[in-house]
Amino acid sequence: MKKFINARIKGQEGLSQILVEHGKIMAVGEKLPPAEEKIDLKGKLVCAPYVDPHLHLDYVFTADMGEKNGSGTLFEGIQRWSESKGNTSVEEMKERIRRGIKKEMLQGVQAIRTHIDVTDPTFTGLKAALEVKSELKDLLDLQIVAFPQEGMYAYQGGAQLVEEALKMGADCVGAIPHYELAREFGEKSIHTTVELAMKYDRLIDVHCDETDDSMSRFLELLNALVLMEGIGSKTAASHTCSFGSADNSYAFRMMKLLKKSGINFISCPTENIYLQGRQDTYPKRRGLTRVKELNDQGINVCFAQDSMSDPWYPLGNGNMMMILDHGIHIAQMMSPEEIRNALDLVTVNGAKTMNLADYGVEVGKSANFIVLDAESEFEAVCERAQVLASVRKGEILFRREPAVVTEATDFLK
Ligand code: FE2
């Protein structure tokens, strides 16, 4: 039995204690019975671990692998990856995947959904991701999307490769309808996605309408199909940039239908503000979906990193607080209430999208949480607080000292 004391649990008043046995939270309260081991969290903010629901782990640190993405667009990114993806091996891929995960975990992430390119008959990325998932099963919730980066139909045999990837153990069906060669093929890929999810009982995560084209409306079909099948809560629409460019009267009607299905949204703020609006002069679009409006409607939205130094995006370090900071700026979400709830966008909302059942600082759940260098939600967001500790099943994954000033003039002391 061990006890974490002086925890300021997000959403709760005052200081709490957390009693842990066999990796589970046994009790949370002001004053709990003594335990053999006591860990002082010194009044810092405690919340459920960061979740990154959209990350291309097979691409991490490949920005320098081939020709550069000169236009900075999504479509050239796909072309550059396609040219260089054959020059790798399962071992090389595993080494990069581990490095990417380590970067995220050292910043408090304990759950990642990764979109692995399966338009590759050798399944190099999928094999690597499945092996790393099994290696790290006690440390990290890793979900794998069978993602046809070059299309289910634009790539010869793409749909069959997605199905094969599900048989090999991928957790989610992916698609990229806006990249298919014609609208009809994009729609066909959405039908196939839902059929495969039903056949293999898997989750869905579609790269959906990642374009400024306001007429790219694959979200409408995806939402309708999962609504009819009753699997909206098991479905995520990633990016949906075009929904940010759509006409208001169209969006108004869609909002009601999106709420009805229970579909989840994943927005990648740093990535999409960088990739989108490339054909605009001025005014230049922000490229994000309607994060604020979806959230106001009670539709589940979360933020994700998407890339770490790959042909689409040269930066990215797995720091979800940085993603959150960009996201609430770009989406204009800074009312007192929005700031108070901002952490949800990189924690509980992501967990809901991933359908994680064992998540939250609550009795009966695994003792998984992070400690932020802040004493309130506002301070955490305003100061972009560092993660001081990450605890998994009651064990400390890492702990770091808060940053200290070592020398200062009198005024700055
Ligand atoms: Fe992506």
**What DSSP assignment string belongs to 119-156?**
-STT-HHHHHHHHHHHHTTTT-EEEEEEE-TT-SSSST
Looking at residue 37, its pLDDT comes to 96
Q: Are 144 and 171 in contact (CB under 8 A)?
A: yes
The CA distance from 190 to 153, in Å, is 11
Residues facing 387 on adjacent strands: 372
Q: How do residues 29-52 score in pLDDT, each as one tens digit? A: 999 999 999 999 999 999 999 999
Percent of the chain topping pLDDT 90: 93
Query: If you measure from the C-alpha of residue 27 to the centroid of ligand 1, how many angstroms do you get, rounded to a whole number?
Result: 39
Looking at residue 107, its pLDDT comes to 98
The CA distance from 291 to 302, in Å, is 9
The average pLDDT across 382-396 equals 98
Query: If you measure from the C-alpha of residue 368 to the centroid of ligand 1, how many angstroms do you get, rounded to a whole number?
Result: 27
Q: Are 252 and 219 in contact (CB under 8 A)?
A: no
Confidence of residue 202 (pLDDT cuts 50, 70, 90): very high
Q: Higher pLDDT residue, 196 or 64?
A: 196
Confidence of residue 75 (pLDDT cuts 50, 70, 90): confident
Q: Write the DSSP symbol of residue 334.
A: -
Looking at residue 73, its pLDDT comes to 87
Q: Are 410 and 128 in contact (CB under 8 A)?
A: no
The CA distance from 75 to 181, in Å, is 13
The average pLDDT across 123-130 equals 98
The CA distance from 129 to 123, in Å, is 10
Looking at residue 86, its pLDDT comes to 79
Q: Any residues with CB less than 8 A from the CB of 135 and at least 6 apart, and which?
A: none
The CA distance from 224 to 257, in Å, is 8
Query: If you measure from the C-alpha of residue 274 to the centroid of ligand 1, how many angstroms do you get, rounded to a whole number?
Result: 13
Active site residue 95: no
Positive/negative CA dihedral, 119, 125, 129, 131: positive
What's the mean per-residue pLDDT of the chain?
96
Say how many residues make up the chain.
413
The CA distance from 116 to 119, in Å, is 9
Query: If you measure from the C-alpha of residue 26 to the centroid of ligand 1, how many angstroms do you get, rounded to a whole number?
Result: 38
Query: If you measure from the C-alpha of residue 208 to the centroid of ligand 1, how many angstroms do you get, rounded to a whole number?
Result: 10
Query: If you measure from the C-alpha of residue 268 to the centroid of ligand 1, how many angstroms do you get, rounded to a whole number?
Result: 8
Q: How do residues 141-182 score in pLDDT, each as one tens digit? A: 999 999 999 999 999 999 999 999 999 999 999 999 999 999
| Number of other CB atoms surrounding residue 70 within 10 Å | 8
The average pLDDT across 372-395 equals 98
Q: In sequence order, what E strands does 10-86 have? A: 16-21, 24-29, 37-40, 45-47, 50-55
The CA distance from 209 to 158, in Å, is 19
Separation in Å, CA 31 to CA 24, 34, 334: 18, 9, 35
Q: Higher pLDDT residue, 78 or 182?
A: 182
Residue with tokens 């990450």: 390
Question: Does the pLDDT at position 18 exceed 90?
Answer: yes
Looking at residue 44, its pLDDT comes to 98
Looking at residue 76, its pLDDT comes to 86
Confidence of residue 344 (pLDDT cuts 50, 70, 90): very high
Q: Are 378 and 41 in contact (CB under 8 A)?
A: no
Token pair belonging to 27: 């009790």
The CA distance from 188 to 206, in Å, is 13
Percent of the chain topping pLDDT 70: 100
Query: If you measure from the C-alpha of residue 207 to the centroid of ligand 1, how many angstroms do you get, rounded to a whole number?
Result: 6
The average pLDDT across 58-66 equals 89
Query: If you measure from the C-alpha of residue 228 to the centroid of ligand 1, how many angstroms do you get, rounded to a whole number?
Result: 26
Q: How do residues 251-280 score in pLDDT, each as one tens digit? A: 999 999 999 999 999 999 999 999 999 999
Ligand 1 is an ion; residues with CB less than 5 A from it: 306
User: Of the residues 104, 210, 271, 377, which is catalytic?
Assistant: 210
Separation in Å, CA 358 to CA 24, 48, 119, 315: 10, 11, 32, 32
